[in-house]
Amino acid sequence: MVAPMNRFRTKCQSILTNHLRYCLTRELSTYRVLNKGVVLGVYQPKNKNEDLILDKATQFYNDKTGGKVGQLLKVAGKDLKKGGCRILYDVVPGFDSVAVCCIGKQGTSYNENECYDEGLENIRAAVAAGVRNLRSVGENDVMVDPCGNAEAAAEGSYLGLYEYDELKDKEKRKKTVKLSCLTEHLSGSSSVQKVWSQGQIKADGQNWARKLMEMPSNKLTPRLFVEEVQRKFNNRPNVTVTVRDKAWIQSENMNAFLAVSQGSSEEPYFLHIEYKHPDSNMSSPVAIVGKGITFDTGGISIKPSAGMDLMRADMGGAACTVGSVYSLDRLNSPVHVHAFIPLCENMPGGRAIKPGDVVTARNGKTIQIDNTDAEGRLILADALNYCESIKPQLILDMATLTGAIDVALGSGAAGAYATSTNTWEMLQKAGSTTGDRLWRMPLFNHYTKQVTVSQLADVNNIGAHARSGGSCTAAAFLKEFVTNKNWVHLDIAGVMSNKDEVPYLNKGMAGRPTRTVVEFVQLLGKSQS
């Protein structure tokens, strides 16, 4: 037994030596224009001392190379963990390098404790690691193994590569990588390609939301946000963009919205986007409302300076709203959606609202503003009331509304307040598919009582017990301006940014839960077809 093992070890060492030599030669080469790489998937072994299990694409190339891939992985793939990656050189003909990524255990599916499809999350994370590693070694043309689910693979690929660096020197920006789905090993490749495209479109919608959230507030004022949306939806026949100015906002008696905007020299805007597919079977449209505070200082109740720069993303609800509509349109989803976005800044100044001020909202209720940093609910109050004019079957709003939801849930899930259990169950199903989860929070009358006790007005913009249940009292406040029986409020402040919690998102603004909202609206449309 000793001699065969020594021969095997010598052969593996020779392979590795050749790869190192190839790698050094490749690094020294400056004449290549197109560097091709491929991401291949493997599963963890069933038992500790067994070899990695090759998925279909990896097995295909292993056979094509006379077992070379499998042989090399016996050494290079040792101790490869879920989500991990190994770069191999000069292995598969036609590719300069191969990223072998581990997609966990074979047969992994819905995890009841985690409330998501763990198998799909494993694919997203592993593929993201693969494409990032290939970019880091200079590949700019990468084919990706669908790893059993082309949509999840595409999402992991495009989400994993995205970074907002367009304001940096060109030499410091991440290099552009062309991505495509590997189908050489598959029959029926056109259907797989279609599913891949769906994942790409969903990732594109989230990446646009991420870009908007990352943009500095001087580069994305309310007016510039409007212009960005107009450019994005230009020549999209199923989308209509209507921009309302301050005069129109005044004519609609949106005094809560105007109160927040009055401290800034930037004019407020109210953005209305309609997406209507000609084959939509929806009896009535869905309304999506997004909080659009393009920068939040807190106003007179000013925030601490540390971390205030992140408040450029306080329009995360608006960003995820337009990202969702963008994906639905490009997916050609047979649905009917209206999006409503109040846009302004919350600034201190001589004209800014002050603690104790009282304003009258569009629905006639008076609001005592005891904390000017609880401004998101003020602009949403008027927007929620206005969106009922289209008689929607359902209203969904998204807002980076409270720090309290971050304390409660962290970045694990967005908080969801739903008046309908059926709607909540559909939302939960959507989140379990996308991996971008939601968690149901209470809409008890207990919290309503805390915002309807006010010294000077009908409601108060902060709860009677200050910090206690802050996200719940904020939702209770919004509920005072909604009459629709089917309403969902998503508090997304906790999922606004990503450090390292979601492995296929880089550090920065997350664009969550764009893909979940897209999936939810599609499920809703299918239920009515």
Q: Tell me, yes or no, whether 173 and 209 share the same domain.
A: no
| Number of CB atoms found within 10 A of residue 380's CB | 29
Q: How far apart are CA 433 and CA 236, in angstroms?
A: 28
Same domain, 323 and 182: no
- Catalytic residue list: 303, 377
Domain ranges, residue 27: 2-187
Residue 78's pLDDT is what? 83
Q: Are residues 443 and 354 in the same domain?
A: yes
Same domain as 255, residue 112: no
Structure token digits, residue 503: 């492995």
pLDDT given at position 457: 98
Residue 145 counted as domain residue: yes
Question: Please, are residues 45 and 52 in contact by the beta-carbon 8 Å criterion?
Answer: yes
Looking at the DSSP bridge assignments, the partners of residue 353 are none
> Does residue 507 lie within any of the structural domains?
yes
Contact between residue 379 and residue 292 where contact means Cβ atoms under 8 Å apart = yes
Same domain, 258 and 292: yes
Residues 66 and 168 both lie in one domain:
yes
Amino acid at 264: S
**Quick count: other Cβ atoms within 10 Å of Cβ 485?**
11
Q: In tens digits, what is the pLDDT along the chain, a chain of 529 residues?
A: 445 555 556 555 555 555 554 554 454 444 445 689 999 999 999 988 899 999 999 999 999 999 999 999 998 888 899 999 999 999 999 999 999 999 999 999 999 999 999 999 999 999 999 999 999 999 999 999 999 999 999 999 999 999 999 999 999 999 999 999 999 888 777 899 999 999 999 999 999 999 999 999 999 999 999 999 999 999 999 999 999 999 999 999 999 999 999 999 999 999 999 999 999 999 999 999 999 999 999 999 999 999 999 999 999 999 999 999 999 999 999 999 999 999 999 999 999 999 999 999 999 999 999 999 999 999 999 999 999 999 999 999 999 999 999 999 999 999 999 999 999 999 999 999 999 999 999 999 999 999 999 999 999 999 888 779 999 999 999 999 999 999 999 999 999 999 999 999 999 999 999 999 999 999 999 999 7
Residue 29's pLDDT is 41
Beta-carbon contacts of 497 under 8 Å, excluding residues fewer than 6 positions away, are 310, 313, 411, 508, 509, 510
> Is residue 123 a contact partner of residue 169, using CB atoms and an 8 Å limit?
no
Does residue 196 lie in a domain region?
no
* Residues 118 and 30 occupy one common structural domain: yes
Residue 257: the pLDDT is 98
3-state SS class at 220: coil
CATH classification at residue 416: 3.40.630.10
pLDDT confidence of residue 185: 84
Asked whether residue 425 is domain-assigned, the answer is yes
Looking at the fold, whether 242 and 360 belong to one and the same domain comes out as yes
Same domain, 242 and 148: no
Given the structure tokens 């149901």, which residue do they identify? 440
Handedness of CA 405, 406, 410, 413 (dihedral sign): positive
The region, left, alpha or beta by phi > 0 then psi within -120 to 50, assigned to residue 193 is alpha
Same domain, 368 and 259: yes
The CATH number of whichever domain residue 109 belongs to comes to: 3.40.220.10
Q: What is the pTM of this model?
A: 0.93
Tell me if 199 is assigned to some domain: no
Domain membership of residue 194 (yes or no) is: no
Give 269-327 as a 3 state SS string: EEEEEEEECCCCCCCCCEEEEECEEEEECCCCCCCCCCCHHHHHHCCHHHHHHHHHHHH
DSSP single-letter state for residue 168: S
CA angle, 274 as apex, 227 and 429 as ends, to 5°? 110
Look at residue 360 and tell me if it is in a domain.
Answer: yes
Asked if the structure places residue 389 within a domain, the reply is yes
Tell which of 140, 156, 187 closes a domain: 187
Q: How many structural domains is the chain composed of? A: 2
Find tokens 């969904």 and name the residue: 396
- Distance, in Å, from the CA atom of 83 to the CA atom of 105, rounded to the nearest integer, reads 11
DSSP state, residue 504: T
**Among 165, 149, 166, which Cα is nearest to 157's?**
149
Q: How many residues does the chain have?
A: 529
